Amino acid sequence: MSDELAERIARRRRAIRLKERRRRQVRRRRLVLGSVLLLLFAGVGFVTLRHGGSGTGGSTLASAGNDITSTTLKVSGAQPDDSWTPHEGPVPILMYHVIGDPAAGASDTSLYLSVADFQDQVDWLEDDGYTACLL
């Protein structure tokens, strides 16, 4: 066997070994990633089952001037009390693009609302009996 042929065979063997090493690295990385994702999903499932998925985060809701904490409400299968009636009219939805002064060189200043005007609008809504609904 000539030296040139032996060198070509050696290079080919090194290339094959390198390719196999890379293939094993990819497999190991995929296995580690899959294990991490499995543990993550298992942890989320455990926390969800442990807390019952009730959504009782302790946030405060405003209803007709009374503060009610969500920990006193049962979300799963909740039923309205006897005073509840469905609202048949339209529901106003307010949208603000920017609350604050327009930036220098702003192309459309109609999208901006000053903080004072915003506060006046919120005060008017409160004075006229509107309540916020979080979506």
Q: Among all chains, which residue has been given the structure tokens 């009636």? A: 85
Q: In the predicted model, what is the mean pLDDT of residues 25-29? A: 95
- pLDDT recorded at residue 114: 92
pLDDT at 51 over 80: no
Domain definitions of the chain by residue range: 1-53, 57-75+89-135
pLDDT at 31 over 90: yes
Distance CA 111, CA 96 (A): 8
- pLDDT recorded at residue 56: 46
pLDDT at 3 over 50: yes
- pLDDT recorded at residue 88: 84
pLDDT tens-digit map of 61-118 = 444 444 544 445 455 666 777 888 887 888 888 888 899 988 888 888 889 999 999 9
pLDDT at 40 over 60: yes
Q: Which region holds residue 63: left if phi is over 0, alpha if psi is between -120 and 50, else beta?
A: beta
- pLDDT recorded at residue 61: 43
Asked whether 55 and 70 are in contact (CB, 8 A), the reply is yes
